[in-house]
Structure 1
Amino acid sequence: ARFTIDGGSVTAVGLGGAQMGFSQEAVQEFQVSTVNFDLSAGMTDAAVINVVTRAGGSVNRGTAFYFFRDHNLAAYPAIQRDRIRPDAFFQRQQFGLAAGGPIRRERIFYFGSWERNDQRAVAGTTLLAPDFAHFSRISASPLAGDLFSLRFDARITASHTVFARHSRDRSRAFGPAAAITGGALNSYPSNWSHVRSRADQSLVGLTSVLGSTLVNDLRFSTFVLASTMGAAGEQDCQGCLGVGAPSISVLQAGLVIGNSTAIDNFGRRFHLNDSITWQGRAHRVRVGFDWEHNRERNLVWGNEPVSMTLFSPDRVRAYNARPDVSAAQLIPLPSAFATLDDILRLPLQSFSVGIGDAGVPQEDGGRVRHWNTVWLYAEDTWRLHDRLTMTYGLGWGRDGNLNHDLHKPLLLAPLLGPDGLRPTRPGRTNFSPAAGIAWTPSSDHMTVVRAGAGRYYRPHGLTSSMDAERVALGPPGLGRQNVPGGAILNWIPGIPALPVGAPFEFRNSPTLFTGADLMAFLPAVRAGLVQSRSNADPAVQQIQVTKQAAPAIFPVYVPNPSAVHLHLGLQRELGRGLVVSADAVDRRFTHVPQGGGAIDVNHFNSVRGAVVPRCSSAAQAEDPQALCSLGPINVQKAPYHFAYKGVVVRIEKRAPAFTVLGSYAYSRTSGTNTGNGFDLDDWLQNAGPAANDLTHILNVAGMVRLPARVDLGFNLSVASVPPFSAYVGGMDFNGDGTTGDLLPGSTVNRFNRGLAGEDLERLVADFNRDYAGTRDAQGALVPRIILPGRYSLGDDFHTLDLRLSRSFRTRSRLVVSLLVEAFNVYNAANLSGYSGDLTIAAFGQPTQRVTQVFGSGGPRSLQLAARLSF
């Protein structure tokens, strides 16, 4: 989606999503468009959100407000009650003020707002594996933020008006990485992150009436975003398991501790857009352009010093119980897991090491990536008849975000083809035609029919992958490399279960090599990697030394993500204040960059062998000219496509004493998925419902005037259960090199979409009969599946929120409003975090519920508020 404020973009530089918040007091109006949006919206394919800020008027007006809630007014926020914190402290204070009016009567006006959010929230970590369940806890997750905005408007002449605004969003937070950067769900507090963020936008707008039929609208803005992210310290979580440790995951047990990532991001955008509108008798023609100059420096220290995954205790016990395991091969386990050292005694499954400087020299030699995005458009609104209007137009965009100066070595020819070693070329064919009609069938204008279609493109948002490509195709030692253990050949004798010359890879079965062993040998491993790059021939490219790329190499042609929108709508006024509408939407997205869009086209872990053969000796691995590989080579392909089909029915009734708005959506979102079930040999095979597919969504909201001038507001939201996939953790049945394959007989996200609990039990019985006790394509022993006594395949969402308010007017013309709000009145659980791994005891068990931070949908809570206005 593209986010603009007064026409200036606040979309994250080089990424996606809005990176700037605004106080509601500063918002005059906003528009959300998700289908067939106006071409003036800019280069985007999914949605456009534009906010218009409030301007001062001819009379001085102002307001101040305060909202408060805490744990004494709320239900318990976690699934399980923490024995140490049975009544976890929570407090949220939100307060601010806004004022506006004239500086010079009828000529110059001002409006300003400030809002503070002081929140001391909590978040739960629910661990269901018996070995780690005692680590479950409630932890503090504080946030403090300020929103400031100041705007001036001036009427220069009768034909020219100008406004200028500066806004700032500044915050600091500590919380789960999943909520901040898309990290692991349900992670332990030692895996959480500190984030400090500041976003500034300065904007100037000039509207000029150039004639009776000609208007020009000009906007220029700057947007600056600076943020840092770091690991937790002892002061954030005293006595927390894993504070100061690297990232350690025990995936089959759901335990994620430690943190190995730090980020320092700085982005700047200069944004200029201009439109000229000409109004004729039957035509309204608009032409314009949108130009963005983006600059970004994104420093990421990942896997510092290492990130590791360990086998779970249950996997170790299953290994020890095998009849073919000798006494010398038995893996000892601690009697209980109480400390970090206990966890590091688990066998190592995989690891990645990050080495080198996070800064990446760009094409011009500087450390800041910069590029231009250009959008041109022309459209005409043609009034064919007093009851029929047609809009049509054409847009064209060019995105300069990719690397266009990097040649690829011969090593990549088997993957890219002999003609695929040239630099990535710019896209020049992003043409966006769009058309629509609005038709009023009868002269009473009570019915309106709307239809539209269009093709839309959006820019690439993959700057971290592009920096990684510069590192891979640059000279040895350039930038930061993330090296998986499978790409490192052991040169240290005496390591248990790892002979000299073997890769540090333990995919299929636990061994005696533990996490503690890795930590002991890690300094030597890191020093060896640094030394190998220092000794490499500077005339070769780094990928010829590492012989792996994760991610990503960009081919010659990389199409922009795009979408085709179709829309048909009908609106009918049935009576005074009663309007009914129905809309049917079909949106089809192509080249969707799921997971970044990179795919291991080398098939390095496939049982059928790598496309670029594995290096067979240490000498070959150390030869930059040898055409062999040491790991996956990810190439930007993004072949995925998704389709959204939906029908929305909306009913609105307005009356003097009440207003009610109800809407219902029936929809399907489906396409080609990554994750569990993805097949490296057939990228489009994993087709089915998308993870965010919600078949039914119902929302009813309204306001009723009660006696004694009391207003009652309500909002009811209901959404059906999302789809669910059941998979067998650690198993690769088809030999493509990816693990966690789907339960045989099922397809991706088919449970709750045609398959139910009885189907699961039938398929599990078939699995235990046909697969259990055999070996998968990689040689790993297939376990027997035992379903928990109680499990669920997901939970629906529903909440009822209420607001009571009463206003009092004083003799001094002050208006005092008192409010009481109740969120999730009947305390619906709204559970999530259900594991689909059939090999663990936590299958089908919830680990999360909606956070209490935003109120709606979270644990039941009351909020008290007061507002003073003049």
Structure 2
Amino acid sequence: MRLARRLSVAVAVVGALLALPAAASAQEATITGKIVDSTGGVLPGVTVTALHEATGTQFVGVTDTLGVYRIPVRIGDFRITAELPGFATITRTGVTLLVGQTATLDLQMAPSTVQESVTVTGEAPLVDMKNSAVGGNLDAKQLSEIPLSGRNWVDLVMLAPGSRANEVGTNGTGGPVARTGRSGGVQGTYNLTMDGQQVTQTVAGTFTNPNFSRESIAEFQVITNRFDAAQGRSAGIIVNAVTKSGTNIPVGTFSGYFRNSKWGAQDFIRHQILPYSDQQIVGTYGGPIKKDRMHIFGHWEFEREPRDIAFTTPYPAFNQDLVNTRTEHKSGARFDADLGGQRRLMVSTNWWRQLLPNRFDLNSSTDHPSAATHELAKMVRVGAQLTQASSRTVNIIVAGVFRQYDNETSYIGNEQVGKIQFNNGLSIGPGLSDVGRTPFRWNPTTYNVRDDFSFSFTAQGHHDVKTGGEYLYNTITDMSWCNYCRGWLDARGGPVPSNIQSLFPVWNDPSTWLLNSIPGSVIVRYRKAIGSPEMHETKHMPAAWFQDDWTIGSKLTVNAGVRYDLEVGAFAENLGLEIKPFLPPNRHADKNNIAPRLGFAYTLGSNTVVRGGFGKFYAQMFARDSFYTHALMQTIIPEITYDGRPDFVTNPFNGPAPTYDQLKARLCSVTGNAPGCIRPDLTRIDSPYMDIPYSYQTSIGIQRQLSSTMAVTADYVQTNLKNTEIQRNVNLTYNPATGVNYPFTDLTRRAFPDWGLVNVVRFSKDGYQNDRGLQTAVTKRFSQNWEMQATYTLATLKDAEPNPVSATIDPATGYVRYDSLPFATARDLGGWYTYSVADQRHRATLNGVWQLPHRFQLSGLYFYGSGMRFATAFSADVRNLGTSGDNLFNRTTGQIEQRNNFVGKPLHRVDMRLLRNFRLANHASFDGIVEVFNLFNHVNYGNYVTTIGAANFGAPVAQDNVAYKPRQLQLGFRATF
């Protein structure tokens, strides 16, 4: 995207906001409390001023008739002043506020007939007496000082209390909600906001999320259970990040970080040192434009990473080393202005560009190197906020644009060569094994505007109310979805040919591939999409909420709220297209998404709070649930069964490929099943009965502050996810005597003989997942030269594999309906509720920063995760389902294998950093940095070969992720001026 276009977007957003009436900035933290006199009587009318020490910005509140004040503020260090005629002014210093924190600061004022003031020093409490949500914070010191291989700040989410991630997806892909990171987690269970603006990639879980520079993030909050009604579009966790801003003191930094394989250990799988290096250069500047009134902050970062992707398949000729260089550019800026009259303006922007060769959606222990792809990804974000506050109200408007671009291409230039799928997980050709996918291009853009209005009043206690609305418009104007567009050959009808290596002599030159020499004994079918892959997608996502935090007496606060979300276009229901008899046109969106939430916080003394509650939380859908179906509405994928011809692989149509119109005229449904007619495949189509996934979240726990600097928390949490994704070939019928499907290849037994594969995706009550855990944390904030945070989680994760259904035509509508089968089916076909993929029993983290004598600093982290579960299956279509399925039936023994029964090895990782600071002239300084990742070189694996029957079953799979790397050394410097 050209710079001029990005600037025009920014100007348009800011201009629109400035044209609005008095509006507000999304609050980052809150200070509240009660002010009494020396006898304990409440003092109404006290003016409370919170001075943000770094910028000089003042935030003002006034106590109500109950003596309670509440001030939404920025994060940072504050000086709190309380003033009332006839009383001595009291000032409290040393108060630090973290993002999302509500700090309760009660004050006592003494009568005075003369002008005098009293100053006390006291930090903000470590426990939240007013809020029942479960989560944690990572502060500015942790963000800047904890060692991170790759310096991706989202990795720090793994250290937050209650986090379940073992890794964050490679180079920005996926999200930290996934314990494996490979699939981005169960969709709609992770949402990231930046300065109040949603910036989550929601096209699909395996696509690239943009990376924001570590230097741009001030701090962030992770809420793992029961966030209030003002936030939504996640059935799991929320991450709220705040960008850095300038201060009254101009400060610039210039940093460099360098890794090299010469300083590291051997690869855990290849048992040799693989060529690798990484160079990161970062610059920042922040300072005042006008002291106490206007400030600016900017950053720029460049990374260059030559790297080696090593293949370790059972076929030595395929084990190439793909060596290439990834590059990444990040930049951004933030502008803050105090407009006077309790009005404030903030505008922030980020820009990102990544060239990612050897994209790693493949399994390097089973896949051919031709499966690798090349990706160019870009992002621009512009967001603006305005603030208007009074003693009782705050009105909030946030507006912004979040735009991405992604273009994925293959290393194999011949687009006539598609994906070939053999047994034992071996796939040859570009892209994902199920659809090929490459080439692929998309440019999703999300426009958002949000209004928050909060106010307080007294009625049977003190009420702090938040109400508002939000509208997101998501559009993809340039999308090319290659759904089988290069062709897909199913060669899983028998064992992998013994001469497989000689069939593909040059990995990236298809002209040398002996495709017609693939034995006919293994060839099953061929698929290729005919039609246009170009699409235009839109989604409309309005929301509204009401939240009341009601303080009853001095001990109890009730957090009651309700939220409504709507997502029009989530399932392609807004396109007006149909695929008869499976999908009628003009379907209705899921409109009944009302989510009540109720919690409480009950104080036991001044240092302990019991908290808990229950709520309903709706997800946001990936765009794939629309564009997969959309693509099938404008393409035809014929099912070409192997007919024994010797040139079938290179000439599957026995002549030129037909056009879309020619195929349409030859459909079996058109010709009355005439010989040679075409049965089209629907490889992934939405059911007409779709509901947005949601979760019920429950928690009960306790927080206790042990001292002025240390606190502990323990919470039992439960997330019951409903309407999870179910995929089934519904073009099957079942034998009531055996409980097994009739073979898909038997056309007479298909539910719809005119059709091929009909792989229907449903989000319905049959799919569910239950996550239960005890999550604990100990936090010691920075004092006496050190700080520390430790977490431990004991958890189970189970999910349901629903029973198959019967698909029949409903006479009343003429379209398909789905009903339960009236008899039991074989266990491997469904009906299991057991431990889920990514189930992990134990998880513990420890991180800390120690300021040592002689200007040395030591910081580090420890991560432990017990063995995690992985899915196992035969690669062949053992039940002749026409699709992959679970494939757990062992045809040799007649037994059914257990579901998700492979447990990986435990993970241990210690990362350490030693820093030495050198003072220079005129307040400048220089830091020399040495970091070691995986200090003890513990062997960690993130994935395994889990194809039953594969020669290398159980073997670890190389992971292009810093969480599973051998020991690495990083040298760095940071100059501050």
- Report TM bin, short chain: 0.7 to 0.9
Name the CA distance, whole Å, in 2 between partners of 1:334 and 1:585. Answer: 51
2:937 is matched with 827
Name the CA distance, whole Å, in 2 between partners of 1:150 and 1:820. Answer: 29
SS in 2 for 1:708: helix
Name the CA distance, whole Å, in 1 between partners of 2:673 and 2:381. Answer: 40
Q: Does 1:399 align with 2:567?
A: yes
Structure 1 residues 184 and 73: CA distance shift in structure 2, 3 A: closer
Shift of residue 440, structure 1, vs aligned partner: 1.0
Decide which of 547, 560, 566 is 1:379's aligned counterpart.
547
Name the CA distance, whole Å, in 1 between partners of 2:795 and 2:220. Answer: 25
SS in 1 for 2:266: coil
Decide which of 200, 204, 218 is 1:11's aligned counterpart.
200
Shift of residue 543, structure 1, vs aligned partner: 14
Shift of residue 523, structure 1, vs aligned partner: 6.0
Q: In 2, are the aligned partners of 1:605 and 1:632 still within 8 Å (CA)?
A: no
The letter of the residue matching 2:486 is: P
Name the CA distance, whole Å, in 2 between partners of 1:102 and 1:536. Answer: 71
1:188 is matched with 368
Q: Does 1:161 align with 2:344?
A: yes
1:370 is matched with 538
2:37 is matched with none
Decide which of 486, 489, 495 is 1:305's aligned counterpart.
486
Q: In 2, are the aligned partners of 1:66 and 1:865 still within 8 Å (CA)?
A: yes
Structure 1 residues 542 and 558: CA distance shift in structure 2, 3 A: farther
For residues 603-657 of structure 1, give each alpha carbon's deviation from its aligned partner in whole angstroms, at most 9, with x where no partner exists: 27987448999379xxxx9xxxx96333122333233210110111212335413
Decide which of 379, 397, 400 is 1:199's aligned counterpart.
379
Mapping 1:293-372, distance limit 5 Å: 293-297=473-477, 298-311=479-492, 314=495, 338=505, 341=513, 345-347=517-519, 348-359=522-533, 367-372=535-540
Q: In 1, are the aligned partners of 2:867 and 2:906 still within 8 Å (CA)?
A: yes
Cα RMSD, aligned residues only: 3.6
Shift of residue 583, structure 1, vs aligned partner: 1.2
Mapping 1:725-736, distance limit 5 Å: 726-730=872-876, 732=878
Paired residue total:
736
Q: In 2, are the aligned partners of 1:600 and 1:680 still within 8 Å (CA)?
A: no
Name the CA distance, whole Å, in 2 between partners of 1:543 and 1:388. Answer: 71
838-847 or 116-125: which moved more? 838-847
SS in 1 for 2:424: helix
377-386 or 254-263: which moved more? 254-263
The letter of the residue matching 1:191 is: A
Name the CA distance, whole Å, in 1 between partners of 2:200 and 2:501. Answer: 50
Structure 1 residues 681 and 529: CA distance shift in structure 2, 3 A: farther
SS in 1 for 2:523: strand
Q: Does 1:636 align with 2:761?
A: yes
2:252 is matched with 62
1:219 is matched with 398
The letter of the residue matching 1:469 is: T
Q: In 2, are the aligned partners of 1:33 and 1:48 still within 8 Å (CA)?
A: yes
1:101 is matched with 287
Mapping 1:10-89, distance limit 5 Å: 10-15=199-204, 19-77=209-267, 79-81=269-271, 87-89=273-275
SS in 2 for 1:72: helix
Q: In 2, are the aligned partners of 1:334 and 1:342 still within 8 Å (CA)?
A: no
SS in 1 for 2:361: helix
Q: In 1, are the aligned partners of 2:312 and 2:365 still within 8 Å (CA)?
A: no
Q: Does 1:469 align with 2:629?
A: yes
SS in 2 for 1:800: strand
2:635 is matched with 480
Q: In 1, are the aligned partners of 2:732 and 2:881 still within 8 Å (CA)?
A: no
Identity %: 20
Mapping 1:679-690, distance limit 5 Å: 684-690=830-836
The letter of the residue matching 1:221 is: G
Structure 1 residues 723 and 548: CA distance shift in structure 2, 3 A: same
2:728 is matched with 599
Name the CA distance, whole Å, in 2 between partners of 1:40 and 1:15. Answer: 25
Shift of residue 585, structure 1, vs aligned partner: 0.5
2:778 is matched with 651
297-306 or 715-724: which moved more? 297-306
The letter of the residue matching 1:466 is: S
Structure 1 residues 812 and 729: CA distance shift in structure 2, 3 A: same
Q: Does 1:577 align with 2:686?
A: no
377-386 or 169-178: which moved more? 169-178
Decide which of 691, 697, 711 is 2:837's aligned counterpart.
691
2:103 is matched with none
For residues 539-570 of structure 1, give each alpha carbon's deviation from its aligned partner in whole angstroms, at most 9, with x where no partner exists: 98999996544244444431100000001121
2:186 is matched with none
Q: In 2, are the aligned partners of 1:78 and 1:123 still within 8 Å (CA)?
A: no
Name the CA distance, whole Å, in 2 between partners of 1:675 and 1:866. Answer: 58
Mapping 1:798-809, distance limit 5 Å: 798-809=908-919
TM-score scaled to structure 1, two decimals? Answer: 0.77
Q: Does 1:148 align with 2:331?
A: yes
2:191 is matched with 2
The letter of the residue matching 1:199 is: M
The letter of the residue matching 2:898 is: T
Structure 1 residues 549 and 190: CA distance shift in structure 2, 3 A: closer
Name the CA distance, whole Å, in 2 between partners of 1:31 and 1:830. Answer: 28
For residues 51-104 of structure 1, give each alpha carbon's deviation from its aligned partner in whole angstroms, at most 9, with x where no partner exists: 1111211221111110001111112335125xxxx6532110111111111112
Structure 1 residues 398 and 258: CA distance shift in structure 2, 3 A: closer
Structure 1 residues 455 and 140: CA distance shift in structure 2, 3 A: same
Structure 1 residues 46 and 523: CA distance shift in structure 2, 3 A: same
For residues 1-48 of structure 1, give each alpha carbon's deviation from its aligned partner in whole angstroms, at most 9, with x where no partner exists: 122111111122544588322112111221111210122113221121
1:672 is matched with 800
For residues 241-265 of structure 1, give each alpha carbon's deviation from its aligned partner in whole angstroms, at most 9, with x where no partner exists: x999532333326454445520010
Q: In 1, are the aligned partners of 2:442 and 2:480 still within 8 Å (CA)?
A: yes
TM-score scaled to structure 2, two decimals? Answer: 0.69
Q: Does 1:246 align with 2:447?
A: no
Name the CA distance, whole Å, in 2 between partners of 1:60 and 1:679. Answer: 71
The letter of the residue matching 1:229 is: E
Q: In 2, are the aligned partners of 1:697 and 1:720 still within 8 Å (CA)?
A: yes
The letter of the residue matching 1:299 is: S
Instruction: Flag structure 2 segments of 5+ consecutive residues without an equivalent.
Output: 1-189, 507-511, 805-823
Decide which of 663, 666, 669 is 1:533's aligned counterpart.
663
Structure 1 residues 251 and 382: CA distance shift in structure 2, 3 A: same
2:59 is matched with none
SS in 2 for 1:469: helix
Name the CA distance, whole Å, in 2 between partners of 1:674 and 1:603. Answer: 16
Shift of residue 458, structure 1, vs aligned partner: 1.6
Structure 1 residues 170 and 797: CA distance shift in structure 2, 3 A: same
Instruction: Flag structure 1 segments of 5+ consecutive residues without an equivalent.
Output: 235-241, 318-331, 361-366, 413-419, 474-478, 499-512, 753-793
Structure 1 residues 44 and 652: CA distance shift in structure 2, 3 A: closer
The letter of the residue matching 1:379 is: Q
SS in 2 for 1:527: coil
Name the CA distance, whole Å, in 1 between partners of 2:753 and 2:194. Answer: 51
Structure 1 residues 176 and 455: CA distance shift in structure 2, 3 A: same
Q: In 1, are the aligned partners of 2:450 and 2:471 still within 8 Å (CA)?
A: yes
Name the CA distance, whole Å, in 2 between partners of 1:78 and 1:526. Answer: 48
Report which of the two has the higher share of strand: 2
Decide which of 857, 865, 886 is 1:719's aligned counterpart.
865
